[in-house]
Amino acid sequence: MSSFNFYWRTTRKLLKGENSGFSRPIVRLSVAGVALGIVVMLVAITVTTGYKQVIRDKVVALGSHIRISNYDMNYSFEPVPFDKNRPFVEEIKALPEVKSVQCYSTKSGVVKTDDQVEGIVLKGIDQSFDKNHFQKNLVEGGLLSLEDSVPFKEIIISSTLSKRLKLGVGDKVRTYFVQDPPMQRNFTVTGIYETGLPEYDSQIALVDLRQIQKLNQWDSSLVGGMEVLLNDFDQVDAVSEKVNRKVGYDLKAESIKEVFPEIFQWIALFDTNVVVLLIITFLVCMITMMSAFFIIVIEQTPTIGLLKTMGMKTQSVVVLFLMIASDILLRGLLWGNVVAFVLCLLQRQFHWVRLDAATYYVSYVPVEFNIPLILAVNVAVLVLCMAILVLPAYLVARKSSPLAAIKFD
């Protein structure tokens, strides 16, 4: 019989033997404690990852990962235009991290209905606009018709503006622009979107970019800015620096984190909270395992003496008790992962836990499985709990006298 089989069979006998009556419920409580700790950690990770992903997608949906604009824009909605055919555009598109580059421009105006007046910001888009990325925010109607050679007078408004102005799909919208001379345009509502972000939903509406070019009397090659979409959000800072070096001295490239710093600073707090929660839960798991370990050692003191009397070395006794600890830990990890995954899958499917969208930007608790991080947490719990038990196991095995252990009652 191999040494592993010996340790394994002995471990099972010690945990289930007749002289384990007192420690058996302690072992079960320890398994339950470790499982509960894992559930808390994994749920916290999946919820935080999901929430961050949802907020990022919402912010990027009406914008992009990187925004290129003129330095003279000064964060107003009347940008200074530049030529969209400048050489750096093809250089940016050639970057492996870049998914697409789309043109846009904005213009502020006033929407008037029979009994309502609201300020509005029109965002003009063209055929380069990533429709698939925006589609998830569309709650009613369809997208703009941008393929025709003649610009359509269509508009996509937010659900917030739709409720305030009492407008639905197919309704006419009269829009006025304060300029010299003053201008007026009639649009037809073709779609209604909702991001849950007040910064967008309270003012932004999508129209054909050519409408804004006509209002501003621009050439068709002039745009108010460009938006760069990336394949991976985590690369936004590095790519933003690359793009900024390519656009020239008169333009600037800002990452989405720089455009909306308050949102991403708020998101960054989630990571701090999760780290604190993980540390506390790690400590709870360690204390649980230490308590269970010492109870088992006290109860199995005669067994220690018997094994040492039969010639078992101190190192072998240490390995034996670490095998007992690993059995408890692995069972706790298994049950904890099963319960956590079931809970998260149910939440992702049925959205049982709801949130106030006005406060949290989403109407339900989102979850996203970060498999590498989940595996890392499981490994960390196993390694740290086992590591903290090595010294106590060694001291107990080394200090135990066979004669005293056998006489122990």
Please check whether residue 389 is in contact with residue 74, taking contact to mean a CB–CB distance below 8 angstroms.
no
Burial class from Cβ neighbours inside 10 Å (0-12, 13-18, 19+) for residue 95 reads middle
Per residue in 205-214, pLDDT (tens digit) is 999 999 999 9
Confidence band of 137 (pLDDT split at 50, 70, 90): confident
Q: Measuring CA to CA, which residue among 195, 229, 224, 255 is closest to residue 64?
A: 229
Let me know: does 71 contact 251? Beta carbons within 8 Å. Answer: yes
pLDDT score for 329: 86
pLDDT at 330: 87
Q: Is the peptide bond before 181 cis (omega within 30 degrees of 0)?
A: yes
pLDDT confidence tier of residue 23, bands split at 50, 70 and 90: low
How much is the pLDDT for 47?
92
pLDDT bin (cut points 50, 70, 90) of residue 355 is confident
Least confident span in 155-164, 179-188, 207-216, 237-246: 179-188
Residue 373 has a pLDDT of 92
For the segment 152-160, the average pLDDT, to the nearest whole number, is 88
Of 68-82, 208-222, 249-263, the one with minimum mean pLDDT is 68-82
pLDDT confidence of residue 335? 93
Sign of CA dihedral 132, 135, 137, 143: positive
Q: What percent of the chain has pLDDT over 90?
A: 23
Which contiguous run of DSSP H or E holds residue 231? none
| Nearest Cα residue to 41 out of 337, 290, 270, 287 | 337
Residue 340: pLDDT above 90?
yes
pLDDT score at 20: 47
pLDDT value at position 18? 46
pLDDT at residue number 299: 66
From CA 366, how far away is CA 171, in angstroms rounded? 34
The C-alpha atoms of residue 286 and residue 37 are separated, in whole angstroms, by: 10
pLDDT surpasses 80 at 148: no
- Amino acid of residue 383: V
pLDDT for 77 beyond 90: no
pLDDT of residue 344: 94
Let me know: does 106 contact 125? Beta carbons within 8 Å.
Answer: no
Are 37 and 381 in contact, with CB atoms under 8 Å apart? yes
Among 11, 36, 8, CA closest to 332: 36
DSSP symbols for 158-176: EHHHHHHHT--TT-EEEEE
Q: Please count the other Cβ atoms lying within 10 Å of the Cβ belonging to residue 67.
A: 21
Bigger pLDDT: 264 vs 322: 264
| 139: nearest Cα among 157, 112, 116 | 157
Q: Whose structure tokens read 């079960």?
A: 28
Full-model pTM: 0.78
Range ranked top by mean pLDDT from 45-54, 63-72, 300-309: 45-54
pLDDT number for residue 1: 44
Given a contact cutoff of 8 angstroms between Cβ atoms, the answer to whether 124 and 159 are in contact is no
Alpha carbon distance, N-terminus to C-terminus of the chain: 32
Q: Whole-angstrom Cα distance, residue 75 to residue 358?
A: 25
Lowest mean pLDDT among 47-51, 258-262, 357-361, 378-382: 357-361
Least confident piece of the model among 117-131, 203-217, 299-313, 318-332 = 299-313
Q: Give the Cβ contact number of residue 16 at 10 Å.
A: 10
Residues with Cβ within 8 Å of 108's Cβ and at least 6 positions away in sequence, in order, are 77, 78, 119, 120, 121, 122, 177
pLDDT band at 179 (very low <50, low <70, confident <90, very high): confident
Q: What angle do CA 369, 375, 377 make, to 5 degrees?
A: 100
Query: Which of these ranges, 64-73, 115-124, 310-319, has the smallest mean pLDDT?
Result: 310-319
Give the separation between CA 27 and CA 55, rounded to whole angstroms.
42
Mean pLDDT of 97-124: 88
Amino acid at 26: I
Q: Which two tokens stand for residue 93?
A: 């598109």
| CB-based contact 336:36 (threshold 8 Å) | yes
